[in-house]
Structure 1
Amino acid sequence: MAKVPQKKLLLSELQLGMTVKLPLSWTNHPFLFNRVEISSDAKIEMIRGLGVTYVFLLSASNTKQQTAETDTEDEIEIEPERDLKADTRKAIRLSQKRFLMNVNNCRDIYGKVVSDPEGAYRLSAALTEDLLSHLQEVETPFLTLVGMDEKEASVTQHGVSVAVLAMMIGHALDLAPKELRDIALGSLFHDIGKLKVPEAIRCKHGALTPQETSFIQMHPNFGFDMLNRCGLFPKEALNIVLHHHEFVDGSGYPDGLTGHKIPITTQIVSLANDYEQQLSGQQITSPKIALGHLFKNHASKHAESLISVLVKILGIYPPGTIVKLSDGSIAKVIMTTKEVSQPQVWACKEDGSDASLRFLILEGVTIEQAIKVEELTEGAIRSLQVDKGISFYFSSLQT
């Protein structure tokens, strides 16, 4: 089949309705394929932010039938025998890259909420679509451990990670795409009100005074007011921002809502946020311990059915958990799999040597138990990067 000549198009010439091909590897941009149908101004802005000077013009109008055909030819190389190790490494790198890109995009959006609310909403809608496409690109999504260099997650980093967990719960419950979008949008902005709380209070280590506690508990109201003034955000997303600290037993804030008075989308984000808060606390450093603490001490605060779904998604050994393997190695869980005792791990010997990505399913090795950081040697702590912050993103690995 003869190839159709591709015309270079300057970014200043991009228009709605065009179909273009990006001059980048698919791992270097947030779109599902290199071929992009420009259906919104937000997509134009996203392409302009990729650092390229041109794209290839494929069509001046939508060509969905051609898209599927060309994507198959240009983007997918079908190998006779799948290389699980290579696919896993690629998936881990892609999850990390997507996470960092979305955190940075979220930070930019936060900066526009007051000065350019329409622009902020357009970009946040585009970010929401990216999250939804990443969730749905494989039939059974799993979780990958991701993070940034900071030990403590920023508001935007926390927002993206909570969005991923909450959307995974919603996906498992077969919620409609509209509800998943509301969950994503509400999660991304749920803590934006904390930016109005003095940093000395927001980042304080140790117990807060009653006055400080009262101040920080106003952040849902601050966030709701900021977004509500825009007049663009859907009421369901605003409800999440205002009520993400509400619990079904009425012990939450700011309104002490109970049970059915809290929409299911808000309940889901409340649970995902509560788990992440357990994990980010100074006393809990293990995702497995954080999950156990939630199950034991906060069970009455959330619907039992939602907690069960969260446990199923995170697995017995959630990403970030330090474990001992059946061959005596020490490892950190990197990605969940369908075999709960055989996730993908980064492993090393007890002294920290021979660190590598391990594929327990292929090796027939299993996890014996979770272990505490205090039990590790200095070498293992360095090799496993135990002090690195823990966040989650969707895995693109097809199982």
Structure 2
Amino acid sequence: MAKAELTKIPASQMLVGLTIKLPLKWTQHPFFINRIKLKSLAQIELIRGLDLSFVYVLSGHELLPETIDEVEDASEAEDAAKPKTKGSALDSKSAAIKAMRIGQQRFLNNINESRSVFAKVGLDPEAAYRDAATLVEGLVEHLQETDTPYLTLVGSGEMEVSVTQHGISVAVLSLMIGHALDLPKSDMRDLALGSLFHDFGKLKIPENIRRKRNDLSEPERNYLKMHPNLGFDTLNACSLYPKNVLNIVLHHHEYIDGSGYPDHLTEKDIPQLTQIVSLVNDYEDLLAQFTFSPQLALGTLFKSHAKQHSQSLIGILVKVLGIFPPGTLVSLSDGSIGKVMMTTSEVKQPHVWSCNHAGGEPNLRFLLEEDVTVSSVLKLEELTEGALKTLQADSPISFYFSAMPDS
């Protein structure tokens, strides 16, 4: 029996829910196998970053429009006819798409490198420190690729945020604050290294306690609160890590009003670098609590946690994240809805993944090139099932530098 021919679609038409096969050897892509179930926009953007013209569809054909090939052919012809002059709308869109893809790829690479570092801490401390220092140097270099860095939405494709994923995201936001403060490069390295390792001690907490989201017993809560000490003791025993880094690991849950732990320090006893990581970590903890709403988490931090952090640092974090941080669900002035993918210089015109209220007409849009703005913020429960699926609105939110070139 002849082997059935696989359905081929343009890479630009990949949708969440499809199972695809990559037309590549396994050594030419970052996935374990060629057969991939598309579960998130992050996966799709990573695959698009491989610069493939097409992929094979193995299942989920019912999700595809009947005229997908004709639509894509017409679109490609139209794009080919457009002049790709420097500074054109097409040129800026391509740059933004490339920036988001690069950010996603770098984020995933850093997660993998961070896991490798953590695995070496006990077995080969010197190698772990060298690799961590290399990772941190890369983070700082990525930030400094542009004078005006913005944030892009990234993710691992998993519904559970790992210690390493959280560490990279905290490092990115902390470095953005450090950049705004014009900190010296040595402080930036310590800030990133401390962020990377701040929750390292959690890996010594039993998984059933560490992954438990609600209803921790008092003994379990107290055990979990030991993670700063556990991380500090392990790294301090290596005699390799700078004092600033160790302080971040031990005191990233300390607040300036003395309400934190483990030592109930007040502002005068908490170094600036530690205060930065404490603030960012608190924000990301709120982000996990408030059902995938980065703006609500930011508002709660600003209103309810103001006494726990420096007002000046909170103000900088607000500027870094923008009015509509990446991951925010929004209603647009043309009646469509979307999820913010990347911040821009115009706070009401970020780059968004958009659809109609039923979840149809998915599209990556650049509001800077349209006469469209963000009208309001939406809550998760306001979305239809179709929109929820299209926007992947319930996916965990992490951040990376946009890598956009200076304009």
Superposition TM-score, scaled by structure 2 size: 0.78
Q: Which residue of 1 aligns with 2:332?
A: 325
Of residues 147, 157, 163 in structure 2, which corresponds to 1:139?
A: 147
Give, in whole Å, the separation in 1 of the partners of 2:128 and 2:345.
Answer: 38
Does the 8 Å CA contact 1:284/1:290 hold for their aligned counterparts? no
Q: For residues 332-358 of structure 1, give each alpha carbon's deviation from its aligned partner in whole angstroms, at most 9, with x where no partner exists.
A: 000011111111100011111111111
Give the superposed CA RMSD: 1.4
Q: How does 1:183-222 map to 2 (within 5 A)?
A: 183-222=191-230
2:309 is aligned with 1:302: yes
% same residue: 59
Structure 1 CA distance, aligned partners of 2:371 and 2:156? 32
Q: In 1, are the aligned partners of 2:293 and 2:327 still within 8 Å (CA)?
A: yes
Structure 2 counterpart of 1:316: 323
* Distance in 1 separating the partners of 2:324 and 2:115: 31
Q: Which residue of 2 aligns with 1:248?
A: 256
1:111 aligns with 2:119: yes
State how 1:107-186 maps to structure 2 within 5 Å: 107-186=115-194
Contact (CA 8 Å) 1:194, 1:202: kept in 2 or not? yes
Q: Which residue of 1 aligns with 2:391?
A: 384
Name the residue aligned to 1:11: none
Tell me which residue corresponds to 1:265. Answer: 273
CA–CA distance in structure 2, aligned partners of residues 121 and 285 of structure 1: 34
For residues 90-145 of structure 1, what are the alpha-carbon distances to aligned partners after superposition, in whole Å with 9 as ceiling and x for unaligned?
00000000000000000000000000000000000000000000000101000000
Q: CA deviation at 1:284?
A: 3.3
Give the match's secondary structure for 1:229: helix
- How far is the alpha carbon of 1:295 from its aligned partner? 0.9
Asked whether the equivalents of residues 148 and 388 of structure 1 are also in contact (C-alpha less than 8 Å), the reply is no
Unaligned runs of 5+ in 1: 1-27, 30-77
Q: Take 2:276 and 2:309, find their aligned partners in 1: how far apart are those partners?
A: 9
Q: Identify unmatched segments of 5+ residues in structure 2.
A: 1-28, 31-83
Q: TM-score, normalised by structure 1?
A: 0.79
> Does the Cα contact within 8 Å between 2:195 and 2:248 map onto a contact in 1?
yes
> 2:151–2:399: 8 Å Cα contact kept in structure 1?
yes
Q: Which residue does 1:284 correspond to in 2? A: 291
Taking the aligned partners of 2:293 and 2:87, their CA distance within structure 1 comes to 37
Q: Which residue of 2 aligns with 1:351?
A: 358
Tell me the secondary structure at the aligned position of residue 238 of structure 2: coil
- What's the CA shift for 1:388? 1.4
CA contact (8 A) 1:152 1:280 kept: no
Secondary structure of 2:347 counterpart: coil
Q: Work out whether 1:373 is the aligned partner of 2:388.
A: no
TM-superposed CA distance for 1:387, in Å, is: 2.0
When residues 228 and 166 of structure 1 are mapped into structure 2, their CA distance, relative to the original with a 3 A threshold, is same
Residue 364 of structure 1: how far off its partner (Å): 1.6
Distance 1:302 1:243 in 2: 13
What stretches of structure 1 move > 4 A for 4+ residues in a row?
A: none
Could you tell me how far 1:207 is from its partner in structure 2?
Answer: 2.1
